[in-house]
């Protein structure tokens, strides 16, 4: 009788283990040559990571949540990280308040650039996150057409203490230093600006290459030197012409309002003119 009771107790104990949730999570199933991991713990871990990404990445460039979808854990990583990158580079409220009157105008902006030599990761832009994603060029570029820091199609670059234009294929242009003058006072007829405003981009590749090389060496006209790069100075205004064949042709004024010890700059910009987009001839 005792043996029978003991056998029943052992059977119940073994049966309880076999249906236990904890035991079921940890047992191995080699039926198909695979080993199961604790399914609900792993599932919870993955969902926690996705929720963390959701919370840290926040909102897209249009202000709408990138996670407002049927699947709360599905998102476009590249889009969301780029949006967060742009958000972290935004000037502060105090900086925008200082230039609030200027920023009420159309086709103007306030932009922060980091030097090209600086490596920028998510950690640099937002301390405390575990992500280590590098951004091309370290936020050194800016496009006045796309209004972002993408290196592709950018009009301006900050590198080695210089502001640079006319980089990339099928692009020419020049920048000139105007001095410590108000950016609001500039028009297409202003000294230094007028030379850029009246410049006619060549449509033949050979001539375009020749003009690029002249600007690269430095070309002095009417008392102003036009180059592909100029030194950065605080409280200094510049004018630039950026001609990207097949994409855009812009005349822009910029003013460096702050230059930091790490080489980064905060600058105001104003579009003085926009020209019809030139196209190079197909002949070499």
Provide the token pair at 53.
Answer: 């990404």
Residues 35, 43: Cα–Cα separation, whole Å: 16
Distance of CA 246 to the CA centre of its chain: 23
Q: Please name the residue that has the structure tokens 């009009």.
A: 155
3-class SS string, the chain: CHHHHHHHHHHHHHHHHHHCHHHHHHCCCCCCCCCCCCHHHHHHHHHHHHHHHHHHHCECCCCCECCCCCCCCCCCHHHHHHHHHHHHHCCCHHHHHHCHHHHCCCCEEEEEECCCCCCCEHHHHCCCCCCCCECHHHHCEEECCCCECCCCCCCEEEECCEEECCCCCCEEEEEEEEECCCHHHCCCCCCCHHHHHCCCCCCCHHHHHHHHHHHHHCEEECCEEEECEEECCCCEEEEEEEEECCCEEEEEEEEEEEECCCCCEEEEEEEEEECCCCCCCCCC
- pTM for the structure as a whole: 0.68
Provide the token pair at 44.
Answer: 């919870």
Q: Please list the ranges in the chain whose pLDDT falls under 70.
A: 1-85, 117-138, 283-284
What is the predicted pLDDT for the residue at 86? 75
**Residue 105 contacts by C-beta under 8 Å, 6 or more apart in sequence?**
270
What is the predicted pLDDT for the residue at 30? 36
pLDDT tens digit sequence for 74-107: 434 455 556 666 777 899 999 999 999 999 999 9
What is the predicted pLDDT for the residue at 1? 56
Q: b/e for 268-279, b at 16 or more Cβ within 10 A? A: bbbbbeeeeebe
What is the predicted pLDDT for the residue at 69? 35
What is the predicted pLDDT for the residue at 209? 95
């Amino acid at each position: 009788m005792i043996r029978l009771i003991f056998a029943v107790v052992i059977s119940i104990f073994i049966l309880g283990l076999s249906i236990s949730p904890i035991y079921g999570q940890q047992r191995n199933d080699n039926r198909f040559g695979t080993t199961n991991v604790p399914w609900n713990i792993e599932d919870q871990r993955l969902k926690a990571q996705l929720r963390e990404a959701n919370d840290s990445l926040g909102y897209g460039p249009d202000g709408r949540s990138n996670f407002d979808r049927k699947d709360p854990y599905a998102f476009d990583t590249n889009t969301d990280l780029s949006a967060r990158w742009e958000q972290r580079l935004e000037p502060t409220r105090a900086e925008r308040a200082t230039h609030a009157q200027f920023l009420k105008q159309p086709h103007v902006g306030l932009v922060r650039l980091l030097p090209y030599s600086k490596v920028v990761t998510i950690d640099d832009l937002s301390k405390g996150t575990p992500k280590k994603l590098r951004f091309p060029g370290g936020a050194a570029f800016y496009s006045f057409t796309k209004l972002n820091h993408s290196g592709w199609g950018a009009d301006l670059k900050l590198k080695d203490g210089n502001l640079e234009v006319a980089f990339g294929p099928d692009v020419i242009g020049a920048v000139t230093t105007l001095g410590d003058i108000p950016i609001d006072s500039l028009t297409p007829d202003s000294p230094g600006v007028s030379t850029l405003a009246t410049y006619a981009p060549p449509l033949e590749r050979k001539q375009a290459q020749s003009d690029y090389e002249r600007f690269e060496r430095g070309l002095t006209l009417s008392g102003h030197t036009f180059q592909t790069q100029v030194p950065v100075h605080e409280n200094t205004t510049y004018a630039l012409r950026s001609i990207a064949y097949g994409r855009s042709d812009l005349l822009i004024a910029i003013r460096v309002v702050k230059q930091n010890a790490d080489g980064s700059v905060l600058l105001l910009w104003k579009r003085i003119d926009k020209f019809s987009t030139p196209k190079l001839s197909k002949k070499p």
